[in-house]
Chains A and B, each alone.
Chain A
Amino acid sequence: MSRRTRLTVFAVAAVGLAVALGIGLGGLPRFGAPASAYARILNTLSVPQRHATDVVSAISFDYRGIDTLFEEFILFAAVAGISILLRPLGDETRRLPEDQAAGRRIPPPSPAVGLLGILLSPLLVVAGLETVTHGQVSPGGGFQGGVVLASALFVVYLATSYSVVERFEPGALIEAADGAGAGGYVAVGILGLLGGAAYLTNVVGLGQPGNLISGGTLPILNAVVGLEVAGGFVLLAKEFLDQTAVIRGGA
């Protein structure tokens, strides 16, 4: 394709995009516009109907729970795809990283980084658990908390070495967490069917609004999503780090 043809194709595509984008942006509500009717309805209904003080969680795990089910499986499929793509091949061998110069060891991270890791990693675990468990009460939830939980392990890697962090990542357990989290969402949805209602209906006792245990299935779904996201992200890091640090290429 010559430069001229490419420019023509680009110009046509750019004009098309500009028109579509212009029409789309023109139809948006203006900045600071009052909330839509749907938003107002959900704002008034989420506490009396679902006993959940965080409306966003009530929407994503209850009113629109099926959307979140698919979102969760997008992440699950992505992590599974990366695990398959980065698996050790037959002609690759595992060897721990070492300095190529004879008799010299890889310098360990500085004590300051180590201290930071010791302080930061338990804090991240607590913050992650707090975010996962308080999804129905305040902003947060399984997705956000799961990533925070996984990042606690990244900090351990930062402060120590790969061989240390490997002990924190038993492969089978992490894969099981990822799968159990994804499957758990489906199982909680079946609870609705068992309760004689539609799939993912909130049939569990709702509790007091504002309490830690409130919102029926919301905290359960948040917990399984947190498990899946934390497992998925740790698995992702493990696969990449394995490939980068340990697995040596074959021919």
Chain B
Amino acid sequence: MIAVALVWVAAAGTAVVLTRDPLRQAFVAGFFGLCLASLYLSMQAGDVALSQLVVGAVALPFIVLLALAKVRRPQ
């Protein structure tokens, strides 16, 4: 269980680095956060998994998307 989650985290983390477009990277990073949360859950750290879920899979991609929308607004 832990090994599967670790492989997920490694694969998703590599995918985040290899994604060059910031817009796509926001989504891949969100998925990476989800993988990390499953890793923490498999280690029975429920509180940490929940925090990781809301920060990594909700808050972080959301802030990145908002910032991108702000930067890309046609002047």
A and B: bona fide binding partners: yes
A residues adjacent to B (C-beta < 8 A): 54, 56-57, 131, 138-141, 143-144, 147-148, 151, 154, 233, 236-237, 240-241, 243-244, 249
Given contacts A140-B50, A236-B63, A243-B70, 12 further A-B contacts (CB under 8 A): A57-B47, A131-B50, A139-B47, A139-B50, A143-B51, A144-B47, A151-B62, A233-B59, A237-B66, A240-B67, A240-B70, A244-B73
**What's the minimum C-beta distance from A248 to chain B, rounded to whole angstroms?**
10
Looking at B51, B55, B67, B75, the one whose CB has the most chain A CB atoms below 10 A away is: B51
How many A-B residue pairs lie within 8 Å, measured between CB atoms? 47
**What's the minimum C-beta distance from B7 to chain A, rounded to whole angstroms?**
15
B residues adjacent to A (C-beta < 8 A): 46-51, 53-55, 58-59, 62-63, 66-67, 69-70, 73, 75
Give complex CA distance A249, B73 in Å: 10
Can you report 5 A-B residue pairs in the complex whose CB atoms are below 8 A from each other?
A: A56-B48, A139-B49, A147-B59, A148-B54, A244-B69
Q: A233-B59, A244-B73, A249-B75 are in contact. Are A144 and B50 (CB under 8 A)?
A: yes
Nearest first, the 7 closest Cβ-Cβ pairs linking A and B are: A139-B46, A147-B54, A240-B66, A56-B47, A144-B50, A139-B47, A244-B69
Give complex CA distance A140, B45 in Å: 11
* A154 pairs with B62, CB closer than 8 A: yes
Give complex CA distance A96, B70 in Å: 15
Return chain A residues, CB-CB under 8 Å to B48. Answer: 56
